[in-house]
Chains A and B, each alone.
Chain A
Amino acid sequence: MLNSIAECFIESLEERIKLLFSKDISGVVTDVGESLLGYLKDNNDIIDPEDLVVFKQKVKMISNIVSLLLKGFDNGYALWLHPLIKELYSRLGIDYDSRYVFLINSNEINDYKVYPDVLRGCFPSDYKVKHKPIDVFTIPAEVSYDISAISLIGHEVGHVYWAIKYSYIEKRIESLLSDFYKVNKSPDLFNNPRLEVKIKQIANHIEEYLCDSIGSSMMGPAFDFALIRYFISYKAEVFNGSHSHPPNYCRVSQAFNRLHNISAEDRDLDGAFRKMMGLIEEQKPNPELSNNEDEEVQKISDEIFEYAKIECFNVKVMEEAWAKVRLELDAFRPPLETVSDDIPESISPIESIIAMTVYYYGEAYKNENEYYRKSAVSEEIKEKILLKTFVSHLSYSISMYDFVTHSSKRDSSEYYKEVKKNSLWKMRTRIHGGKTNPLIIVPSIDPKTQYGDNSVDLRLGGSFLILRPTKYTHIDPNPKNNSETDRHLPNVYTQIDVPVGKEFILHPHQFVLACTLEYICLPYDFYALVLGRSSWGRMGLNIATATTVQAGYKGCLTLELRNLSETPLPLTVGLRIAQLCLIPIPEGYSTTAGYFVSDSKYVGPVKAEMPKIWEDKDWPLVGDFKQA
Chain B
Amino acid sequence: MSSISAVEKSSRSYYAMSVLNRLRHWIDDRAGSQMSNKDREILSESLSFKYPMRPEVIAKAIIYNLRSCNDKEMITSFQIGEILRDVFGDLEEEEHELYLNALKNVIVSVSKEDIDKNDIIKAKKISNEAIRKLGELSEGAYSHPGNYKDL
Report A's interface with B, CB cutoff 8 A. 45, 47, 50-51, 53-54, 56-58, 60-61, 64-65, 68, 111-118, 120-122, 124-125, 152, 155-156, 159, 162-163, 166, 169-170, 173-174, 176-178, 180-182, 187, 190-193, 195-196, 199-200, 202-204, 206-208, 211, 230, 244-245
Contact = CB atoms under 8 A, between A and B. Distances in A.
Contacts of A122: 11
B68 A57 contact: no
A121 B2 contact: no
B151 interface: no
Interface string B1-44: 11111111011111101100100110000101000000000000
Nearest to B24: A50
Given A53-B131, A207-B66, A173 B59 contact: yes
A244 B3 contact: yes
Interface of B: 1-8, 10-15, 17-18, 21, 24-25, 30, 32, 51-56, 58-72, 75, 82, 85, 127-128, 131-132, 134-135, 138
A504 to B, nearest CB: 33
A-B interface, 3 closest residue pairs, ranked by CB to CB distance from nearest: A121-B11, A203-B65, A181-B55
Contacts of B1: 111-112, 152, 155, 208, 230, 245
Contact of A166 (B5, B54, B69, B128): B69
A114 B2 contact: yes
Contacts of A163: 67-68, 70
A253 to B, nearest CB: 16
A58 B10 CA distance: 8
Given A174-B63, A204-B65, A244-B3, A58 B30 contact: no
Given A54-B21, A57-B13, A65-B7, A173 B2 contact: no
30 contacts: A50-B21, A50-B128, A61-B13, A64-B5, A64-B6, A64-B7, A113-B2, A121-B11, A124-B18, A162-B67, A162-B68, A170-B69, A173-B63, A174-B59, A174-B60, A174-B63, A177-B55, A177-B58, A180-B55, A190-B53, A195-B51, A195-B58, A196-B61, A196-B82, A199-B58, A200-B65, A203-B65, A207-B67, A244-B3, A245-B3
Given A57-B134, A121-B12, A178-B56, A173 B62 contact: yes
Given A181-B55, A190-B52, A208-B1, A118 B7 contact: yes
A113 B5 contact: yes
Nearest to B138: A57
B68 A159 contact: yes
Contacts of A200: 65
A202 B62 contact: yes
A61 B14 contact: yes
B15 to A, nearest CB: 7
Given A57-B13, A199-B65, A203-B65, A156 B2 contact: yes
Contacts of B8: 115, 121
Contacts of B85: 196
B46 to A, nearest CB: 14
Main secondary structure of the interface of A (DSSP, over half): helix
B62 A181 contact: no
A163 B5 CA distance: 14
Contacts of B138: 57, 60
A230 B5 CA distance: 21
A53 B2 contact: no
B80 to A, nearest CB: 13
B61 to A, nearest CB: 5
Given A54-B17, A57-B135, A116-B68, 7 more contacts: A57-B17, A60-B138, A61-B7, A113-B5, A199-B62, A202-B62, A204-B65
Contacts of A120: 11, 70, 72
Give the residue among B3, B51, B60, B66 with the most A Cβ atoms within 10 A: B66
A3 to B, nearest CB: 15
A308 B10 CA distance: 30
A233 to B, nearest CB: 13
A178 B55 contact: yes
Contacts of A114: 2
Contact of B14 (A57, A196, A204): A57
Given A166-B68, A174-B60, A187-B52, A112 B7 contact: no
A301 to B, nearest CB: 11
Nearest to B89: A193
B17 A53 contact: yes
B48 to A, nearest CB: 14
A182 B55 contact: yes
Nearest to B139: A60
Contacts of A56: 135
B2 to A, nearest CB: 5
Contacts of B63: 169-170, 173-174, 203
A169 B68 contact: yes
A195 B53 contact: yes
B24 to A, nearest CB: 7
Contacts of B70: 117, 120, 163, 166
Contacts of B135: 53, 56-57
Contacts of A61: 7, 10-11, 13-14
